[in-house]
């Protein structure tokens, strides 16, 4: 599929529905995500954890620090970028992701269906890591999440939105 195509009556033409307004929304979403990320970095050390994990049964993203502090937050999977072929796969199209963790990606899909934006409604497409960040930032914006984490998983990069962060200390 041509990612620069519009869906009109089920057929593909044009620029994929990526209007100047949509591109401006992507840029605004990225700016907001950068600001949120800087706040998390300053506030609780986001990006400096010794390890991370995603409890898919509970929908919790966990960051464990060397001093025993654990940051926990509700999480949603937006999608993943396979670094071997640069293919983006939306969480809503991935059967290995539990349905309760697809909410944010489904909100983006709905947004794309309403506006006929092909990349938001196509299960999989070829793109860059920057494209993946833009999709995750859009999900963060539309779903009013607190931030985005990009977690490595083999040859894939998994993009995860997260909610309110709670800090605790491991005993």
The total number of structural domains that make up the chain: 1
- Full residue range of the structural domain in which residue 156 is found: 6-169
The residue-averaged pLDDT of 48-60 equals: 96
Task: State the pLDDT at residue 72.
Answer: 98
Task: State the pLDDT at residue 170.
Answer: 83
Residue 52 has pLDDT above 90, yes or no: yes
1 within some domain: no
45 within some domain: yes
152 within some domain: yes
Which parts of the chain fold into alpha helices (H)? 20-44, 103-115, 118-121, 129-142
For residue 49, give Cα distances in angstroms to 24, 126, 147, 155, 171. 33, 30, 16, 21, 17
Per-residue pLDDT tens over the stretch 76-89:
999 999 999 999 99
117 within some domain: yes
């Amino acid at each position: 599929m041509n990612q620069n195509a519009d869906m009109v009556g089920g057929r593909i033409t044009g620029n994929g529905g990526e209007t100047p307004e949509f591109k401006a929304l992507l840029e605004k979403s990225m700016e907001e995500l950068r600001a949120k990320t800087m706040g998390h970095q300053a506030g609780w050390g986001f990006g400096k954890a010794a390890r991370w994990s995603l409890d898919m049964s509970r929908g919790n993203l966990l960051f464990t620090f060397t001093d025993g502090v654990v940051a926990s937050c509700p999480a949603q999977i937006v999608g993943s970028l396979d670094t071997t072929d640069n293919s983006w796969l939306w969480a809503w199209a991935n059967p290995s992701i539990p349905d309760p963790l697809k909410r944010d990606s489904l909100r983006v899909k709905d947004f794309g269906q309403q506006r006929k934006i092909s990349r938001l409604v196509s299960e999989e497409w070829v793109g860059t890591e920057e494209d993946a960040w833009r999709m995750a930032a859009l999900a963060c914006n539309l779903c009013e999440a607190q931030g985005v984490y990009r977690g490595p998983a083999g040859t894939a990069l998994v993009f995860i939105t997260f909610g309110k962060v709670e800090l605790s200390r491991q005993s």
